[in-house]
Each structure stands twice: as structure tokens, then as C-alpha cells.
Structure 1
Amino acid sequence: MARGKIQIKRIENQTNRQVTYSKRRNGLFKKAHELTVLCDAKVSIIMISTSGKLHEYISPSTSTKQLFDQYQKTVGVDLWNSHFEKMQEQLKKLRDVNRALRREIRQRMGEGLNDLSFEQLTELIEDVDNSIKLIRERKYKVIGNQIETHKKKVRNVEEIHRNLLLECEARQEDPYGLVDHEGDYNSVLGFPNGGPRILALRLQPDHHHGHHHHHSHLHSGGGSDLTTFTLLE
């Protein structure tokens, strides 16, 4: 069955395009290798895909530079010299830019102003004023950010202080809140020294091994605590 003729145009589908590139690249490299072996030819193929990947075939026992040198000798051109000249021209432009920038910096520092005309001095003054304006705006912005950060820290400290005051006020208004475990205390109303008082006794049981009864004792430094609170009127 005869193979259909393929129309030569760009393959729109990216996957098909990449597959075709890989197959034909391998075919070209295979043909180049056959030419190298069968005809003792020096072959170099350089290919760059649409994704930027470099693929190269070079005949064994040679290099791309050697082929380029032989090409220049055969054609009578000097590719390296023209490339060197372009690099020299680019380097000269960069040096001119660097020289101009250095001169501008010296002028902004107040040096080398004797050769400037009145118009150039006026333009330099405007440039310096604009630069100072930008620097001042940047400075104020930095200071503003620092002030806002400081304010946030102060607000946090004030909030902590306010919460502590509220907690202290709540403890003063409710002295019974000082009793952590209500079940551990027995309260006795009394009037010692002529004033209304509340006595809070914390009784700790004294366990005796081998007995069925538990006795609570009030004594100093032992199993109970005696705390006195003033009754609120």
C-alpha cells in the first residue's frame, strides 16, 4: 500500500509536533552517522527545539570548533573576528555609559561643575531637587511605618494592662472568689473585736490506719488553716 503524501506545513498540535521532531531528529542523526562511516565525511548537525533544548551530532574524533575553523578556511571568512568586533563595540558602549554615570555622580556631589553651562547647571539643580524629594518621601514612609508599628505595640500593652486592672477589680469586689475549692471550707460567722467577720476554716482529715472513724483537728501548723475575711456591708 502506497504511503500518503504529507503536506509540509507547521504541525499545530504541540504533542504531535514534538513527537515528529524527535523522530526526524533521530533519523537525521542516523543518516549523518552513516555518511561519517561510509564516506569518511565530517558531519556536524546542530538542532534547537521550540522548547529551547539543544541537540547536536558531531562526527567522531572531531569537534564543532574544528569544523567551524575548516568552514572559515574553506569559505574565506572569519566568524570569530566578526564576533570579537561586535563584543568590542558592545564593551565600548558599556564603558561610555559607565563614564557618563561616574561624571553625573561627581556633579551631584558638587565636583566637576566648571565645564557646565548655565542650562546644564539649571537642569542639574532640578535633578538634585527631584532626587531629594524622592528621598524625603521614602524617609517619611519608613518613619510612618515605624510609628504605626510602635502604636500597635503600645495598644497591645494597654490592652494587657486594662485586662489586668479588670481582673484585680473583680477580685476586690468578690473576696469569696479567693476560695478555690468551696467544699474544702466550713464557714463560721462571728464578731471578733466588735466587727462582723467571716471565718473560713479549711479542715484536712487525719487518716488513721485500722480505725473506722475520721477525726478533724484544729491546731497550728498542722491539718487545718484558719482564714478571716471582713464581711461586706
Structure 2
Amino acid sequence: MGRGKIEIKRIENSSNRQVTYSKRRNGLMKKAKEISVLCDAKVSVIIFASSGKMHEFCSPSTKLVDMLDQYHKLSGKRLWDAKHEHLDNEINRIKKENDSMQIELRHLKGEDITTLNYKELMVLEEALDNGISALKSKQMEFVRMMRKNNEMIEEENQSLQFKLRQLHLDPMNDHDNVMQSQGGGGVVYHHQNQIAADYEAAAAQMPFAFRVQPMQPNLQERF
């Protein structure tokens, strides 16, 4: 009794589908190896499972890039070119550089340093010392800038307070401004009278010993 034909369609059961994939993949790889050996053919097979896992076979002494170039020449379809190869190399370089920076960052945090030798630890210590020195210098610069700003603010505050006292606490300023706005010769006269009145009021408050005494003749000379 012969084997029954299997309908070619997607296998719904996941376990059966995985078993069938594994068996047929191995069979396909086996056939690729056999034809490459028996017929001296260049064979390359790449299979991606539904999970994304890749399986490949390339005949011995055959490079996939060479096969792609030959395919380009015969079919006229450009699946790969120098530009793409350059981009691929650049991506690989950036990935390696990123991995190296990640390792260095972990070392600076004090992680994964058990595998470092003495010289590598010395280099790491020097880098940390330089970083600390740069941070302290920047911190001192910030402190000096803040102090300078505070001094400028304090000077401006004192200047404003002085102007405020002149405007509101010195009555002579307001009096002089009013008299100057009137004009005429009476301005000087009124100002002199005001000065004289202020002087008399101040002299009245002084002790008697400090007051200016009127000049008297020397009585001893009269005898």
C-alpha cells in the first residue's frame, strides 16, 4: 500500500508544524549537500523559521557574496552592491563602538572590573581623577559667577536705597526743587533765610560752652 498524498497547505497544529519544518529542513539541507558533492555545483540555502531563527548551507569553498555577484551578472537584478556593503560595514563598526562604550561606561560605574588587569585599572583611575578635577573646576567657576552676581545685585540695591533716601528722607531736596521752579531773585533770598533759620535752630540745641560768644575787649588791658 503506497503513501497517501499530503495536501500542501499550512499546518494548523503548531507542534505538527514544527516537526514537519524540522524534518523537511534537514532533508532540504541534505539534498543541497548531496548535489554540491555529486555534481560539483555551487549551492547556497538560507532558511528562516517562523520564529526568526536562521539556518543556512553554503557549498564548500564558496562565498555567498561571490554567488550574489554571479547572480547579479546573470539575472540583472541587484540584490547587493558596494554601497550596501559599505553601509553594512559602517553599521557593524558602530555596533562594535557602541559595545565598547557600554563596557567602558560599566567600568566607570565600578561594574565588571574583576577581569581588568593592573594597568587597565590604573588607566581607569586616572580617567576618574581627571573627571573629578574637571567637575570641581566647573563647580568653582559656577560659585564665582554666583558670588559676582550677588555682589552686583548688592551694589545695585545699595545705590537704589541711597537714591530712595535722597528722594523721600531729605526735605531740602524737595524745598530746593520747589523754589527753583518759581524763578526770580526771591529764590536765592528765600534759600539764604532758610539756611540761617536752620543754623539758629541747630545752635539753640548746642550746649552753651560750644556756642560762639560775641567778641569782648580784654578787660585786663583797661587797668
- The TM-score, its normalising length taken from structure 2, stands at 0.44
- Whichever structure has more strand as a proportion of its residues is 1
Q: Which has the higher helix share?
A: 2
- From the CA coordinates, give the structure whose radius of gyration is larger: 2
TM-score by length of 1: 0.42
- Of the two structures, which has the highest relative contact order with CA contacts closer than 8 Å and spacing of 6 or more? 1
